[in-house]
Structure 1
């Protein structure tokens, strides 16, 4: 799974790295959060959690600047955009947006079969830029209450390059609001996951699907709508691209943020942690 990630790059850096033509992160968007987002949506965030408005790269045909389902009509060429989408996909047919809390991830093996994801997988694919993601390892040792210890890890590209998480997005229209109101539309995203590669599977059995730059165009392009071609992209796997190290448990609280979350956990905090590279118990 992927339930937390870090995205510390500025918008200008994302525009350059992902060849974005139109930065729309300054436009008003709907939020499902009960409290104001902190850090504010569209700014660097070292502890991105579900339900936040997150920065996403996608390609669509702009139309009248709105964010609704009529945003692209095929009359012009698609434009690569940087936008804010709510993390937790809400299908267009959902009765209310609460279903998004259960759809923060989509399994690569089944997205072309599941009604909630199939149309998005064929026509609405996105990239979620990140520095890396957090995952919690269940230790073979247990606490006094008999439950296994859980150690957060930060997983990132070994070459230091940005991480391009594969995503799918969808539009949901609130029937109670005026269609002309920009926030009557809720645009949401889910992160695609796949089986964890050797080594990372010692942390968790799933990991996000991370795309290479040479595949970004095909993944984002609305013209890539053949199920076999999409299935090939969903099956992409190249082991050995990532490093992982344990970090402090403070990341477990979505209210904690800052670059300090990426600092390696000191040795004295590690108890029964499995080294992903060797499988040896540390601490």
Structure 2
């Protein structure tokens, strides 16, 4: 799954040009983006023109009775996205890019005889070149009673690549380049090509780094979320008690 990510690059002016976000969209550094937050995306108009937009993370289908359902729909599985009622219509007409520069995943650890669980180790996962990128996403509009309205999104996940499989068996779909981003947004892209885009970023293009415990608090959105793991808790350390 993908339950937390970052958009911490300080070069926000470059981000506007890279993703065509426009000058009116509010951008700021985010170190620990969590479900329910407003996130930077690129959607399209009815005519297929890209537009930068802030959407709430956690898709609420137009037919939902309660917007709280969005907290259960922060991710959509690539293998079933074309079949699930919550996502299949959005896949046809409401695809989006969710702009990021990394995401977090927590690696389970065991310690002691019998393999009792200990605190999970958080990792920050990026492109190998450190460049910002886009997750493949879907968006929806929801209208409740009166004037209540929401525009929301979800991030599509796929099998983890060989670089990340020991941390988690799933990862978000990180579109590899601008050509893939354009194809994902293009209204006329055939369904079979869309499915071809929903694959893991190759391990050779992926980097991982153990980080400290600050990111584990979803309410904490500060630069120390990206601090290196403390000594003895970095990748490859601190597992001397593990049996395997």
**Fold shared, TM-score > 0.5 on shorter chain:** yes
Partners of 1:266 and 1:153 in 2: how far apart? 12
Q: Secondary structure at the match of 1:229?
A: helix
Which runs of 5 or more structure 1 residues have no equivalent in the other structure? 27-41, 61-71, 179-183
Query: In the TM superposition, what whole-angstrom CA distance separates every residue of 1:73-103 from its partner, at most 9, and x where no partner exists?
Result: xxxx432111110000011110010100000
Residue 165 of structure 1 corresponds to which residue in structure 2?
135
Partners of 1:246 and 1:199 in 2: how far apart? 13
RMSD (CA atoms): 2.4
Residue 69 of structure 1 corresponds to which residue in structure 2?
none
Query: In the TM superposition, what whole-angstrom CA distance separates every residue of 1:172-225 from its partner, at most 9, and x where no partner exists?
Result: 111x223xxxxx32011000000001120111111010002221111011222x
The within-5 A match list for 1:24-103 is: 25=25, 42-60=27-45, 72=46, 77-103=47-73
2:95 to 102, 117, 125: 125
Partners of 1:49 and 1:249 in 2: how far apart? 15
Please say if 1:199 is aligned against 2:140: no
Residue 233 of structure 1 corresponds to which residue in structure 2?
197
Give the conservation status (yes or no) of the 8 Å contact 1:46–1:259.
yes
Which runs of 5 or more structure 2 residues have no equivalent in the other structure? none
Q: Secondary structure at the match of 1:269?
A: coil
2:220 to 244, 247, 256: 256
Give the conservation status (yes or no) of the 8 Å contact 1:24–1:83.
no
Q: Secondary structure at the match of 1:200?
A: coil
Tell me the number of residue pairs that the alignment of Structure 1 and Structure 2 aligns. 239
Partners of 1:168 and 1:96 in 2: how far apart? 19
Q: 1:211 to 1:142 in 2, by over 3 A?
A: farther
Residue 12 of structure 1 deviates from its aligned partner by 2.9
Partners of 1:49 and 1:216 in 2: how far apart? 23
Q: 1:186 to 1:11 in 2, by over 3 A?
A: farther
Partners of 1:137 and 1:238 in 2: how far apart? 20
Residue 110 of structure 2 corresponds to which residue in structure 1?
140
Residue 146 of structure 2 corresponds to which residue in structure 1?
177
Give the conservation status (yes or no) of the 8 Å contact 2:171–2:200.
no
The within-5 A match list for 1:9-28 is: 9=9, 11-20=12-21, 22-23=22-23, 25=25
Partners of 2:140 and 2:49 in 1: how far apart? 17
Give the conservation status (yes or no) of the 8 Å contact 1:153–1:244.
yes
Query: In the TM superposition, what whole-angstrom CA distance separates every residue of 1:254-282 from its partner, at most 9, and x where no partner exists?
Result: 22222221121122335xx558xxxx957
Q: Secondary structure at the match of 1:165?
A: strand
Q: Secondary structure at the match of 1:91?
A: coil
